[in-house]
Amino acid sequence: MRVLPKAHEGHPPMLLVRTHYGDDDAWRRVRDTLDQPWVFDERDGDEGRVKEEILCVDDPEWAEATPADILAALTAPERGDEPDDGGWDVVFLADRDGMEGTEPTLLAVSTDLEETEAIRIPALETPHEMHCNLALANMDFCDFADL
């Protein structure tokens, strides 16, 4: 059975799951793109740049996993517990479609089953912005569908 890590208390890192294993160079491009400091306040210049901690699940067991597979793994109850989201607000998938384009994109999957379906987002800044704003409850997942 595929298992995803549970988030730790406080501000968990971004969770990125690699689901496409046909192009290691594309995976490196995704990782390099996400490794860029994110400007969360352009008025601060370089002082407004941060690098989010990213927890990467890079295991071929997740090859071709769908958003439904991810949600099933996250919400699977442990030892009779009630299903939950594992502590994550959003999970990002590095899938085939996102790696094949000229600019990497990710598939963002909300762990709130009442939210909108998964959405495709640019990998450069949007995952950082989404992760931060969802963790702080500044925005809802559906707010990013309109961007």
Taking the model in full, what pTM does it have? 0.84
- Does an H or E element contain 73, and which? helix 67-75
- Per the CB < 8 A criterion, the answer to whether 68 and 60 are in contact is no
- Residue recorded with tokens 């992760």: 131
> pLDDT, tens digit, for every residue of 27-42?
999 998 888 776 555 5
Rounded CA-CA distance 74/2 in Å is 10
Structure tokens at 21: 């294993």
> pLDDT, tens digit, for every residue of 44-102?
555 555 667 889 999 999 999 999 998 888 876 665 555 555 678 899 999 999 999 88
- Residue recorded with tokens 């990002």: 92
Rounded CA-CA distance 74/84 in Å is 7
